């Protein structure tokens, strides 16, 4: 079902979300990084093009991902009495951790359905935050069905992973921060060279679309001239293909090292936000994502494949850096399997 612009999440809702999450969420740093498009994975200050790259390090958020913003905002918006039976959700990992962490903060039980192939580091963290974990299949369809069955049997509140206004508004607070932090940098460096220019380009990874829906809503309202580009893996192009046909579609299969970007279908509401606010959605291959993870480590940042997809788009030249003004890449998460990381640093595939 198509959504009218009036039904989309607006700046006021994002600002309300920012107030709700302010006591608990980190205001993650916006980091200035030397960068050259098409680099081999290493760069120096001498490589810096005329534009400049900023990294919004959501990898440093509580639970290691932006998902905390939406999950905590969603729970904050509920009637407390509705949460007494606990919360239920389904997730490949980062939303699972965010719901478990937020439920603990609210003092309510959480049940999370995860795929059988969920990264061990994400499953362990979800359990450590106090959630009960069940496993179901390898796709969003399978784990959603199991979560809905648990909800019917046991009661509680379902916390959607991406397709809900309060989830989108919470994720949009990252976009609000990008705008505010760049303005602060501009004021701080007023007498420095080069000066901080306008925000020309923002890149956001796409899983189900909650992050890009919220960030694009905030940026489009605050900086109408900014180009907004979403990034998906070649093996999970659900938003790109949906845009091509004009409505949300379901992929028959997905395959990517970026586990957080592997939903088989975008949300109806997130799709509508992308249609309205996003300039383009591009695809990157897994090898580019691997190189981006290693490049981020060179910036002293541990970033998981899903979070590094935006850098992959820049490194591969799939998206050129803005020639003038500032470029920002959102690093959506940092929950990277240590063994996999060591292998990649050692040149293994």
Counting beta carbons within 10 angstroms of the beta carbon of residue 220, is it exposed (0 to 12), middle (13 to 18) or buried (19 or more)?
buried
The predicted structure's pLDDT at residue 343? 83
Where is 341: in which H helix or E strand? helix 338-345
Residue linked to tokens 């925000």: 199
The predicted structure's pLDDT at residue 3? 59
The predicted structure's pLDDT at residue 1? 46
Active site (annotated) includes residue 332? yes
Report the share of the chain in percent with pLDDT over 90. 76
Q: Are 37 and 315 in contact (CB under 8 A)?
A: yes
- Spatial neighbors of 216 by CB under 8 A, at least 6 apart, are 175, 204, 228, 273, 274, 277, 278
Tokens at 315, concatenated:
């490194």
Give this prediction's pTM. Answer: 0.91
Where is 180: in which H helix or E strand? helix 165-188
**Coil/strand/helix, residue 244:** helix
Cα angle, residue 335 at apex, residues 113 and 60 outer, rounded to 5°: 120
> Is residue 40 pLDDT above 50, yes or no?
no
pLDDT band at 46 (very low <50, low <70, confident <90, very high): very low
| Annotated active-site residue in 56, 67, 122, 262 | 67
Q: Can you tell me the distance from the alpha carbon of 308 to that of 329, in angstroms, rounded to the nearest whole number? A: 9
DSSP 8-state class, residue 320 = P
- At residue 119, φ and ψ (nearest 5 deg) are -55, 130
* DSSP state letters, 183-233: HHHHHHTTTSSSPP--EEEEEEE-SSSHHHHHHHHHHHHH-TT-EEEEEEE
Beta bridge partners of 227: 201
pLDDT band at 5 (very low <50, low <70, confident <90, very high): low
Q: Are 170 and 76 in contact (CB under 8 A)?
A: no
Structural domains of the chain, ranges and CATH numbers in brackets: 5-65+164-345 (3.40.50.1100), 67-158 (3.40.50.1100)
CA nearest to 114, candidates 170, 161, 58, 162: 161
**Coil/strand/helix, residue 284:** strand
Omega prior to 194 cis, within 30 of 0 = yes
pLDDT tens sequence across 108-135: 999 999 989 888 888 899 999 999 999 9
Task: Give the pLDDT mean for 156-168.
Answer: 96
> Is residue 44 pLDDT above 70, yes or no?
no
CA nearest to 233, candidates 312, 349, 122, 135: 312
| Annotated active-site residue in 76, 216, 223, 332 | 332
Q: Can you tell me the distance from the alpha carbon of 97 to that of 51, in angstroms, rounded to the nearest whole number? A: 36
Q: Can you tell me the distance from the alpha carbon of 18 to that of 174, in angstroms, rounded to the nearest whole number? A: 9
**How far are the Cα atoms of 11, 53, 56, 297 from residue 327, in angstroms, in the given order?**
22, 5, 11, 19
Task: Give the pLDDT mean for 184-188.
Answer: 92
Active site (annotated) includes residue 122? no
- Spatial neighbors of 81 by CB under 8 A, at least 6 apart, are none
Q: Can you tell me the distance from the alpha carbon of 50 to that of 326, in angstroms, rounded to the nearest whole number? A: 9
DSSP 8-state class, residue 235 = T
């Amino acid at each position: 079902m198509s959504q009218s612009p009036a039904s989309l999440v607006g700046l006021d809702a994002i600002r309300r979300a920012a107030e709700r999450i302010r006591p608990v969420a980190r205001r993650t740093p916006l980091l200035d990084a030397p960068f050259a498009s098409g680099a081999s994975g290493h760069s120096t200050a001498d490589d810096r093009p005329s534009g400049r790259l900023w990294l919004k390090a959501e990898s440093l958020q509580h639970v290691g991902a932006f998902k905390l913003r939406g999950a905590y905002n969603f729970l904050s918006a509920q009637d407390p009495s509705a949460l007494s039976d606990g919360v239920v959700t389904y997730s490949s990992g980062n939303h699972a951790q965010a719901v478990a962490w937020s439920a603990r903060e609210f003092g309510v039980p959480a049940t999370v359905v995860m795929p059988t192939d969920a990264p061990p580091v994400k499953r362990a963290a979800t359990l450590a935050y106090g959630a009960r974990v069940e496993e179901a299949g390898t796709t969003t369809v399978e784990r959603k069905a199991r979560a809905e069955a648990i909800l019917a049997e046991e009661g509680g509140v379902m916390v959607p992973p991406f397709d809900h206004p309060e989830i989108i508004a919470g994720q949009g607070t990252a976009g609000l921060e990008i705008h505010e932090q760049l303005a602060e940098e501009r004021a701080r460096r007023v007498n420095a060279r080069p000066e901080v220019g306008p925000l020309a380009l923002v890149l956001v990874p796409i899983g189900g679309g909650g992050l890009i829906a919220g960030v694009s809503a905030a940026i489009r309202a605050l900086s109408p001239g900014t180009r907004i580009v979403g990034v998906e893996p070649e093996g999970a192009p659900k938003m790109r293909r949906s845009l091509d046909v004009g409505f949300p579609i379901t992929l028959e299969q997905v395959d990517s090292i970026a586990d957080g970007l592997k939903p088989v279908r975008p949300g109806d509401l997130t799709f509508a936000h992308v249609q309205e606010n996003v300039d383009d959605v591009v695809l990157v291959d897994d090898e580019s994502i691997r190189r981006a993870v290693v490049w981020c480590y060179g910036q002293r940042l541990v970033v998981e494949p899903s979070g590094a997809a935006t850098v992959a788009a820049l490194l591969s030249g799939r998206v050129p850096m803005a020639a003038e003004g500032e470029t920002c890449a959102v690093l959506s998460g940092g929950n990277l399997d240590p063994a996999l990381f060591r292998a990649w640093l050692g040149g293994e595939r």
